[in-house]
Amino acid sequence: MKNLLCGKEIVKSFGEGNEKTRVLNQVSLEVERGEYLSVMGPSGSGKSTLLYALSGMDIIDNGSVSLDGLELSGLEDEELSDLRRRKMGFVFQQPALLRNLNILDNIILPMMRDNRKQVGTLVQKAKTLMRLSGIEGLEEREITQMSGGQLQRAGICRALMADPDIIFGDEPTGALNSKAAQEILDLFDQIQKAGTAILLVTHDVQVAARTNRVLFMQDGRIVSELRFQKEKLDYKARAEQVMVQMRRVGI
């Protein structure tokens, strides 16, 4: 299967002079089309920085990142912004929704730049995604009237508006209770089965167990990898495998 996302020898540092710290140290990885992948590691291991580097949200010092064969470093800022909006979706621990807009308007807002004359079409698509994600009927709600789980579902709807090739998630269940987290993971399962690749950064063993491949990071490097057999969906057994691997590599 052709790789969708490819990172080669990625180097990223923060700070200057004696305070300069290398956060990513020649990291390479590939993500296949439709793959469900997670990245784990202790705080400071570089996992979130890797997500930002792969999505073009951070400029890397050395190495390369390409999406569907297109090298990100060769793009101007506006071109990169357009690529992220059209080809990528983002789900963060705290959904970045605007307080002065209702839920429906928050969902369609990123797509308005490309589709100002097709507002009706955007609204219908957003309502379809809201129905599929279980928040149908909440279109006029303000974000202060929504639970954390509902807001995260709205964020996922927004991420899916452009039919992206890949969803990036940075601790997407970190602020949710266990019931809401499981519901969000069930929604991710549906998204991935429909053909969208998903890359999640997480510290949660239960989240990693829902993916098909887990990368373990330490000190800016990928130190280990765990693949699950797709036909085996015993998440408890998977979680145990993740914990064993974490102990094995000292995470």
User: Is 90 exceeded by the pLDDT of residue 18?
Assistant: no
Average pLDDT value for residue range 140-167: 94
Q: Residue 101, class by beta-carbon neighbours within 10 Å (0-12 exposed, 13-18 middle, 19+ buried)?
A: middle
Q: Higher confidence at residue 112 or residue 60?
A: 60
pLDDT at position 27 is 97
Average pLDDT value for residue range 238-242: 95
Name the residue with tokens 């705290």: 94
Mean residue pLDDT across the chain = 92
Residues facing 29 on adjacent strands: 7
Q: What value does the CA radius of gyration of the chain take, rounded to a whole number of Å?
A: 18
User: Is 90 exceeded by the pLDDT of residue 229?
Assistant: no
User: Is 70 exceeded by the pLDDT of residue 117?
Assistant: no
User: Is 90 exceeded by the pLDDT of residue 233?
Assistant: no
pLDDT at position 112 is 86
CATH superfamily of domain region 3-94+164-249: P-loop containing nucleotide triphosphate hydrolases (3.40.50.300)
| Concatenated DSSP letters of the chain | --EEEEEEEEEEEES-GGG-EEEEEEEEEEEETT-EEEEE--TTSSHHHHHHHHTTSS--SEEEEEETTEEGGGS-HHHHHHHHHHHEEEEESS----TTSBHHHHHHGGGTTT-TT-HHHHHHHHHHHHHHHT-TT-TT-BGGGS-HHHHHHHHHHHHHTT--SEEEEESTTTTS-HHHHHHHHHHHHHHHHTT-EEEEE-S-HHHHTTSSEEEEEETTEEEEEEE--TT---HHHHHHHHHHHHHHHT-
Q: Is 206 left (phi over 0), alpha (psi -120 to 50) or beta?
A: alpha
Average pLDDT value for residue range 140-163: 94
